[in-house]
Structure formats: structure tokens, C-alpha cells
Copies of this chain bind each other. A is one copy, B any other.
Amino acid sequence: MSETIQDETIRPGEIAVGLDPAQPYDAGLSFIGHIRTPWGVRGQCPRQGDRTAGPECSIVVDPLWHRALEGIEYWPELQILYWMNEARRDLVIQVATGKQPQGTFAMRSPVRPNPIASSVVTLLRVEAGTLIVRGLDCLDGTPLLDIKAHFGELYP
């Protein structure tokens, strides 16, 4: 989920569509907090989070939403949605390092029409509105969109 693709760069074989900058968005998102990780630049991020051996990361929830965390400690795993705010949004064909060109929807690259990332994490503990978890792979400071109970292990 953490390809090293920088905004506005395009690689041989990649294809962008023309997005109209005057076209209004269809819906709006409100950031509900942010994520703290050890990785300050994209090249440092792991390719995929590790729920068992990855470092502890913090999901810092804005005070407005603290009460929405009630009962969260019941879930050993959570699904986290976050916003990959550095990614371009107009590529339909992408070239990951060492791979053939692929369609954006056949990948998990951050470059996509709506750059929403989804990761499943292990919840270690809750500290005053902050979740301490393992399994993330994103940049430090990444905006938080959602936290959901993850049923995968309990109700597969």
C-alpha cells in the first residue's frame, strides 16, 4: 500500500485520465484525527503493515469524537480508513517497481481516484482518546477518516 509514487510524476507505461479541475466533488470528508507513525517520508514506509511484528503506532482521535470509542476495547482487530493526501488521483494504469503496467483497481497503490486507504490493525490499548495499534504502514501525520470494528477473525 506504500508504493513510492510522488505526486505529478508519471512513469513510462503509466496512463492518466484528464480530470476537470472545475468539476465539483460529489461528497465531502471530515478528518476525525490523525495517525502517528515512525515514518516521515514515503520511502521509509513499509510496503504493507505488520499486525504482529510492526512498530506501535498511535491513532489520535479528535476530542469531538472521543465518545464514539466506547466499547472499542472489545475488538482485538480494527479496520482503519485514512486519507492518502499526497497521492495524485488521475492514473488508470500504473507501473509498480519491477512490475508490468496494471490497472489502478487491480492494485492497492495510494494513487487512485479517491485515495482512501484501508488497513486492519491489532488494538494493543486505548489511552485517553488515542488507540495504540500495530499494522499500519502510512506516513506520520496521515489524516484519519474512520475506525470500524473488524469482524474478520471473530466471524470469518
Q: Which residues of A contact B (CB under 8 A)?
A: 15, 17, 23-32, 48, 61, 64-72, 74-75, 78-79, 81, 83, 85, 89, 91-93, 101-108, 112-114, 116, 118, 143, 145-149, 151-152
Contacts and interface: CB of A to CB of B under 8 A. Distances in A.
Contacts of A101: 70
B85 A70 contact: no
Contact of A65 (B17, B24, B79): B17
A114 B149 contact: no
- By secondary structure, the A interface counts as mixed
A109 to B, nearest CB: 9
B103 A70 contact: yes
Nearest to A117: B148
A108 B74 CA distance: 14
A16 to B, nearest CB: 10
